[in-house]
Amino acid sequence: MEYNYLKIKNENAICTLAISAPKSLNALNSTILKELDDFVSNIPADVRVLIITGDGEKSFVAGADISEMCNLNREEGYAFGRLGALVFRKIETLPIPVIAAVNGFALGGGCELAMACDIRIASNKAKFGQPEVGLGIIPGFSGTYRLAKLVGMGYAKEMIYTGRAIRADEALRIGLVNAVYEPEQLMAEAEALAIRIIANAPIAVRIAKESIDAEYDLAADDAILYENNAFGRCFETQDQKEGMSAFLNKTKPEFRNK
Ligand code: HXC
């Protein structure tokens, strides 16, 4: 598929995807969502970390495209929300870590896209918010679900009921982002984070992601058992032998993704 709204750079196992719709501050219309769906469904096998950002200096994603949504009826509203929610869920469940590098406005669907990523870092110019109730809708790309998980019920409800946008420093304080950088440093820091991840055993990183996500909604005993099984699976890999013998031999491990 040819992409009109995605800019993709794929180098050294790190793929950077920039959403690019400059006329609308990268607002997500259904064409962009379909392009995103195609991209994440066909992500090259050699990619070990995906970084998602917004093209340009001003915006990550300013939300879902209001001009596309304004005349939808109930069924069409459901279908639009479902389209985005399923794409974001595909991003969340990719077998590799996904970093959101939030370079500007992350409003509505933009905040929701960032929340579907494993890790969020931001420029000090970033703004996060769920302004949907001011438009007569609710966060519809799983924001009512994920925001409370990330920042707690009280803060999520305040943000969603008021629609108040928060700056990067506040997002950092409430745990919505892991770190805040100068705008010109953001992409370098995202890549540095990706490089630290890909230095580790790829299968172990994959199993760690799978375990954290799967265990989150389980009861304690089930979660602990899930982890025990996942831990056992690591010992089927050559990279576990490599990592441990390298440690014992005081050498650097050479992981082979096996
Ligand atoms: C469509 C948008 C847009 C959006 C910005 N634009 N956000 N178009 N959908 N979400 C367009 C503007 O209409 C404008 O087009 C151009 O981008 C530049 O925006 P300005 O408003 O002129 O820029 P600025 O004054 O700097 O303000 C930036 C802004 C503001 C604060 C981000 O644009 C804004 O409030 N945007 C809407 C944010 C929002 O409400 N997002 C949530 C959407 S609902 P023209 O043609 O005038 O130049 C949502 C629901 C998700 O996300 C779930 C769906 C199921």
112 is catalytic: yes
Distance (angstroms) between ligand 1 centre and the Cα of 27 equals 7
pLDDT tens-digit readout, 127-152: 999 999 999 999 999 999 999 999 99
Mean pLDDT across the chain: 98
* Residue-level pLDDT at 159: 98
* Residue-level pLDDT at 175: 98
Give 35's pLDDT tier (boundaries 50, 70, 90): very high
Which domains, ranges and CATH numbers included, belong to the chain? 6-198 (3.90.226.10), 202-249 (1.10.12.10)
Q: Which atom of ligand 1 is nearest to the CA of 107?
A: 41
pLDDT tens-digit readout, 68-127: 999 999 999 999 999 999 999 999 999 999 999 999 999 999 999 999 999 999 999 999
Q: Which atom of ligand 1 is nearest to the CA of 84?
A: 55
pLDDT tens-digit readout, 43-56: 999 999 999 999 99
Rounded average pLDDT over 175-183: 98
Our answer on whether the CB atom of 249 is closer than 6 Å to any ligand 1 atom is no
Rounded average pLDDT over 178-202: 98
How many angstroms separate the CA atoms of 237 and 110, rounded?
A: 38
Give 4's pLDDT tier (boundaries 50, 70, 90): very high
Percent of the chain with pLDDT over 90: 100
What predicted TM-score, i.e. pTM, was given to this entire model? 0.98
pLDDT tens-digit readout, 7-16: 999 999 999 9
* Residue-level pLDDT at 213: 97
* Residue-level pLDDT at 163: 98
132 is catalytic: yes
* Residue-level pLDDT at 244: 98
* Residue-level pLDDT at 115: 98
* Residue-level pLDDT at 150: 98
Our answer on whether the CB atom of 63 is closer than 6 Å to any ligand 1 atom is yes
In the numeric block, which tokens belong to residue 138?
A: 């609710």
